[in-house]
Amino acid sequence: MRKLLLFSMVVLVGLVFIARLFYLQIYNTQSYDIYEDNAIRKVFTYPKRGYVYDRNGTLLVANQPSYDVMVIPREVEPLDTLEFCKLLRITKDDFLKTFNKAYRYSPRLPSVFLSHLSKEDYAVLQEKMRKYDGFYIQKRSLRAYQTSIGANVLGDIGEVNRSIINRDPYYRMGDLIGKQGVETSYEKTLRGVKGIKFIQKDRFNKDIGPFDEGRLDTLPQPGKDIKITIDAKLQEYGERLMQNKRGGIIAIEPSSGEILAMVSAPSYNPNILVGRERSKNFNKLYKDSIAKPLFDRGLQAMYPPGSPFKVINALIGLQEGVVNTNETFTCRMGYYYGSRKLTGCHHHRSPANMNLGIYESCNAYFVNVYRRILEKDGSNISENMNTWSNHAKSFGLGNYLGNDLSVGQKGRIPDGAYYDRAYEKGRWASTYVVSNAIGQGEVEATPIQLANMTAAIANRGYYYTPHIIKSIEGDTIPSKYTKRNYTTIDKQHFEPVVQGMYDVYNKGTAKHLKVSGIEICGKTGTAENFVRIDSVKTQLTDHSIFVAFAPKDNPKIAIAVFVENGYWGGRFAGRIASLMIEKYIKGDVTRTDFERWILDHTLEHEYEKPYSGKPFKINGETRVLRKEEYDQIKQAIIKNSQEEPLDQ
């Protein structure tokens, strides 16, 4: 019986082997995959990454050589670990940790053991690498920034992680990929295509020469150079003006939608995210919970738009026929509903028509217009709210703009359904939401949305999708960037609003910001700044906002400036906007008084430093906070941060 059992097992195993061989040779239709052949070593050669130039041809990003020590764990033979570690300037613990990580990734695939060797280290190590089986040196390119500005615009490159490799088989462990800015947006354009060499190995796992005489080897294809829309001189000037401040500046060319400047402050020198120090420096930037230098405030920060939003309500009011340019409304230092004051206002002439309402920024005027829009024809308020919302959204507000930037936020333009959920359908009225009339309440926008809104007004009713790409070597930019996007407001309604914005500079809230020889149209804004402390709404120092375009006719630049804790629109943001406009149009500035004032004044975050007992403005009054109050506010600011997690 035992002999029969043993014989049966031998026969069974033999039949299984025969069946498998028969299947593989006769029925298996899968073609031979050289990439899966363990007897062939694959050596990748990395292409030159494309250069990045500004709109005027100034080189911003080039390349520099870098050398990585690669390891194939399964091929590593016993070695003098201490000698090897001394050559690489690492500890034995570092060696074991990195080797084990590479082995977990794959015993038979190459991965980076030590990255970014200097030329000097490479020269020393190259002569001795033959002693260390399983290790070899691979050359690649790192970025070489020719500038210290535009970190949020240019972005950086870093190693891929497991999730990226799983999504895109092009990448392998140790490969570099664009992480932020144009490096991410145009990764496939800039990266080029890797080349590959197939090396035949013998049964002892030793290289014996090119596989198939190198017929399957390919050369790397270099990445394409790109020219971006940024004006490097304007970008540099904007970053200089925003030193020791927080906020964002976005400047757009209205006739094309090209982004001329994209400033986020605080910022950092892009050179610190290159080479072996990248990881340490990135972690330092990422963990800065107050300054948040990796958070692009021009694209991601959602703020109440404040008074610049009033011009949208003026345009909607004209389009819906609920007001004309000559009709006036009384202002008694604010808007009253019966005996209740719903919103305040500064002192100015009364009554106000549309022109005066814009250039004096009258809250009462725009609350009256807004209420008429929502109460038009006695119709359902929710439906009228939808009409208002759709008009506002046609300016690119309340949604992603469809641009080619690496990050962004939608902002918020509420509709009827929003308030039906908040107050129950049919149980709310226009007086509940009057803050929207003056750009407060539930309305939120990013600086790039405000700049785009301003460009649409400058163009009298249309805008081009904002974009950062100007040209691609040997290619064309997407057609959507050359297509006009029309608002829902008829063209004839824009002229009185443009005139009102022009008068803001001539006799209104920005009359002290005029620049000789340039007809600027603008709108000041002050946004209330709240945080929640134990569910209690607490007001801190207001934000300074300003939007403008110039010249009045055939505009060349539209700009939005947002300065956190900048008090009021004309104080910081207005001065910066005037300087940026003059710098771009004239190439130099004559308002050196503005420049000196801005550069001499800092706006460090009120809660960045340790408690000092100094007075702060809170809930409209200036007083000394107790340390417990101070710490509560500091934590609330961090908690309320809109920063999205970044992938290192």
What's the CA gap between 48 and 35, in Å, rounded? Answer: 24
Write the single-letter amino acid at 644: E
pLDDT digits (tens, 9 = 90+) for 367-420: 999 999 999 987 789 999 999 999 999 999 999 999 999 899 999 999 999 999
295, 264 Cβ separation under 8 angstroms: yes
CB 321: neighbour CB atoms within 10 A?
9
According to DSSP, the β-strands at 135-145 and 59-71 are antiparallel
Residue 232 φ/ψ, nearest 5 degrees: -60, -40
pLDDT tens for 541-590 read 788 999 999 999 999 999 999 998 888 888 899 999 999 999 999 999 99
Using an 8 Å Cβ cutoff, are 615 and 623 in contact? yes
Amino acid at 413: I
- Cβ count near 164 (within 10 Å): 14
Inter-CA distances, 247 with 219, 229, 242, 550, 573, Å: 46, 21, 8, 22, 10
Name every residue whose Cβ is closer than 8 Å to that of residue 554 and which is 6 or more positions away in sequence.
255
Residues 296, 264 contacting (CB under 8 angstroms):
yes
Residues 59-78 pLDDT 10s: 999 998 888 888 989 888 88
Alpha helices in 265-375 (DSSP H): 278-286, 310-319, 354-359, 363-374
State the pairing for strand pair 226-228/52-53: parallel
The fraction of the chain above a pLDDT of 70, given in percent, is: 89
Strands (E), 191-333: 195-201, 207-210, 226-228, 247-253, 258-265
Domains within the chain, CATH numbers bracketed: 40-228 (3.90.1310.10), 233-279+293-639 (3.40.710.10)
Task: Count, in order, helices (H) and strands (E) of the chain.
Answer: 20, 22
pLDDT tens digit sequence for 484-496: 999 999 999 999 9
Which pLDDT score is estimated for 521? 97
What are 45-58's pLDDT values in tens digits? 889 999 999 999 99
For residue 637, the model assigns a pLDDT of 65
Local confidence band at 16 (pLDDT 50, 70, 90 cut-offs): confident
pLDDT (0 to 100) of residue 648: 36
| pLDDT band (50, 70, 90) for residue 643 | very low
Separation CA 542–CA 538 (nearest Å): 12
Cα separation, 520 vs 518, in Å, equals: 6
d(CA 266, CA 96) in angstroms, rounded, equals: 39
How high is the mean pLDDT of the chain?
Answer: 87
Task: Of 508, 507, 515, 606, give the one whose Cα is nearest residue 559.
Answer: 515
Partners of 139 in the β-ladder: 67
CA neighbor of 139 nearest in space, from 221, 43, 42, 68? 68
Candidates 266, 431, 450; CA nearest to 343 is 431
379 Cβ contact partners less than 8 Å away, ≥ 6 residues apart: none
Upper half-sphere CA count for residue 537 (Cβ side, 13 Å): 4
Q: What is the DSSP letter of 211?
A: G
The phi, psi pair for 88, rounded to 5°, reads -90, -5
Quickly state the pLDDT bin for 339 (edges 50, 70, 90): confident
Greatest C-alpha distance within the chain: 115
For position 540, what pLDDT does the model report? 75
pLDDT of 232 over the 70 cut:
yes
Give mean pLDDT, residues 423-439: 89
* Residue that the structure tokens 């990734």 belong to: 105
What is the pLDDT confidence band of residue 644, given thresholds at 50, 70 and 90? very low
In 590-636 the beta strands, taken as DSSP E runs, fall at 615-618, 621-624
| pLDDT, tens only, 590-638 | 999 999 999 988 876 655 666 666 676 666 667 777 777 777 777 666 6
Average pLDDT rounded to a whole number, residues 525-540: 73
CA dihedral 200, 205, 206, 209 (to 10 degrees): 0
pLDDT attached to residue 647: 37
Distance, in Å, from the CA atom of 149 to the CA atom of 61, rounded to the nearest integer, reads: 11
Distance CA 463, CA 280 (A): 42
As a whole number of angstroms, the distance between CA 575 and CA 580 comes to: 9
- Residue 172: its H or E element: none
Q: For residue 492, which amino acid is it?
A: Q
User: How does pLDDT run across 112-157, given as a tens digit for each residue?
Assistant: 888 888 777 788 888 888 888 888 888 888 899 999 999 999 999 9
C-alpha distances in Å from residue 589, one per residue of 254, 504, 512, 575, 579? 22, 21, 16, 12, 7
With 80 as the cut, is the pLDDT of residue 641 above it?
A: no
Contacts of 20 (CB under 8 A, 6+ apart): none
Q: Is the pLDDT of residue 438 over 60?
A: yes
Higher-pLDDT residue of 623 and 87 is 87
Strands (E), 456-520: 462-464, 469-472, 484-486
Per residue in 237-258, pLDDT tens?
999 999 989 999 999 999 999 9
Least confident of 32-36, 84-88, 296-300: 32-36
Amino acid making up residue 417: A
Structure tokens at 289: 């919970």
Mean pLDDT is highest, among 77-81, 210-214, 401-405, 452-456, for 452-456
**DSSP assignment, residue 21?**
H
391: tokens are 């008009």
- Residues 578 and 586: their CA atoms lie apart, in Å, by 12
Minimum mean pLDDT among 14-18, 472-476, 518-522: which range? 14-18
- Does residue 645 or residue 593 have the better pLDDT? 593
CA-CA distance, 43 to 185, in Å (whole number)? 28
pTM: 0.86
Gap between the Cα atoms of 127 and 613, Å rounded: 62
CA–CA separation, 566 and 538 (whole Å): 17
Cα separation of the two ends of the chain: 66
Q: Which residue has the tokens 């149209």?
A: 521
Q: Is the pLDDT of residue 526 over 60?
A: yes
Residue indicated by tokens 């061989």: 21
In angstroms, the Cα distances linking 153 to 49, 295, 464 are 17, 12, 20
Residues 6 or more apart whose CB falls under 8 angstroms from that of 166 comprise none
- The predicted structure's pLDDT at residue 29: 52
Q: Provide the phi-psi class of 97: left if phi over 0, else alpha when psi is between -120 and 50, else beta.
A: alpha
**Please, what is the Cα angle at 470 between 554 and 517, to 5 degrees?**
30
Cβ(335)–Cβ(372) below 8 Å: no
Pairing of strands 59-71, 111-117: antiparallel
Q: Which amino acid is at 451?
A: A
At residue 642, does pLDDT exceed 60? no
Model pLDDT, residue 408: 92
